[in-house]
Structure 1
């Protein structure tokens, strides 16, 4: 099962040539993960942080295939590619433009890796490819 979301390319994403400045793709990847947790896991990053936990990114790899331009709308697809005791890997694509792999880790109040809570693990397992 995959998660889909459209992200419009806005002025803030672009360099003076009107194409997406490459670090903005990292922001879009993070937005996809954050919104996946909001929409699918039903546990927003705001609530996770308020509860004293976190989900930092520990690895990010991005391949850039084609430029994206101001005014375009990119359809992003997120798939759960791997699931460990404390980590999860996501594979993301934005049409034929960008491909990314990101790994996040569930951390406890002491900023140490901790096992996924059952509710989150169940949702991640349901989305695991």
Structure 2
């Protein structure tokens, strides 16, 4: 499992003082980006510029379970749960202390940045993804 703690800031909140739900999608994406950089040793810059590989989200199912407020620290726990030829499915739970704030299932697809078509995971990256799946 990969965990990224994120502090709720003023920029994330609506006038009621709770996280405006679209901001959670930014936090989820940040978690994915850090997962690729920290666990797979593949920053988005490296993927895009050197490998010409994009990993857009093609599906995201989210359940918002409880409100988060200014200065809460939400731990985003990410697990790789499925690995396909050109796709990866991630499960993410956002928790503050012991309370679940949201659950999400995210499907990413590896695409060629030039053709915008799905492509196989490069062998080295696929091996690192496989390690995460088995961990």
- For Structure 1 versus Structure 2, the TM-score category normalised by the shorter chain is over 0.9
Q: TM-score if structure 1 supplies the norm length? A: 0.96
Greater mean alpha carbon deviation, residues 49-58 or residues 78-87: 49-58
The structure in which a higher percent of residues are strand is 2
Provide the residue aligned with 2:86 in structure 1. Answer: 86
Q: Secondary structure at the match of 1:97?
A: strand
Verify: 1:98 aligned to 2:97, yes or no: no
What is the Cα deviation at residue 86 of structure 1? 0.2
Provide the residue aligned with 2:126 in structure 1. Answer: 121
Provide the residue aligned with 2:54 in structure 1. Answer: 54
Verify: 1:7 aligned to 2:6, yes or no: yes
Question: Distance in 1 between the 2:24 and 2:92 partners?
Answer: 11
Q: Displaced runs of 4+ in structure 1, greater than 2 A? A: none
Give me the CA root mean square deviation: 0.9
Aligned pairs, how many?
128
Greater mean alpha carbon deviation, residues 116-125 or residues 89-98: 116-125
Question: Distance in 1 between the 2:26 and 2:61 partners?
Answer: 13
Question: Distance in 1 between the 2:79 and 2:116 partners?
Answer: 26
Residue segments in structure 2 that go unaligned for 5+ positions in a row: none
Question: Distance in 2 between the 1:123 and 1:9 partners?
Answer: 31
Provide the residue aligned with 2:29 in structure 1. Answer: 30
What is the Cα deviation at residue 105 of structure 1? 0.6
